[in-house]
Structure 1
């Protein structure tokens, strides 16, 4: 895994969380810009996941079940949040996307920690 990319992903996820939280507080449904920001964070997550899987295949020794569990959760979380936010086109849809960003940040941090410990 690339540490710098991980930290950029964490920062982007926190920006997404703040943006979604502000939109929910202002009683705004998620708009295409918020969904676009979610897509950007997901793209960062996907790139990091591909790099991590390549590193694992390349022989990086780590606790594979734990790492893959975090990686799968990280990879599936934002698409699920987008589906739920589209089903709920109110302020709660924005809150769902904000919650997704809040969960992604510590997941990425934990993945970086697991990678560094091995």
Structure 2
């Protein structure tokens, strides 16, 4: 994963996290705009999963494939889980879970980039 892709995906995740934080602060429940924001992040993560898997198959770098793919799969699972939890939890903390999940996604994207570059083991 290249640094520009990691930055774009992290910015998308943080933007969705800011929207979720605003929902939490206003004490509003999960709604369509927040769902769409998380859906955009999920689409970007699916593209990263496919692109990362293809890049791993084609590279001759010394990348720990199991670790790399496990991070790719994990980061794709987080947004849907947060959405389900956010919709199920009718208090303000349903959207708080989504905010925390989006910050986690942003951090994991940079971790994935570090694994790809070989700077994080």
TM-score range, shorter chain: over 0.9
Q: TM-score, structure 1 length as denominator?
A: 0.92
Q: Secondary structure at the match of 2:68?
A: helix
Alignment gaps of 5+ in structure 2: none
Q: How many residues align?
A: 118
Counterparts of 1:1-118 in structure 2, within 5 Å, are: 1-61=1-61, 62-117=63-118
TM-score (norm 2): 0.90
1:37-71 alpha-carbon deviations (Å, 9 max, x no partner): 00001111111111000011223431112112211
C-alpha RMSD of the superposition: 1.4
- Runs of 4+ aligned residues of structure 1 deviating over 4 Å after TM superposition are none
Secondary structure in 2 matching 1:93: helix
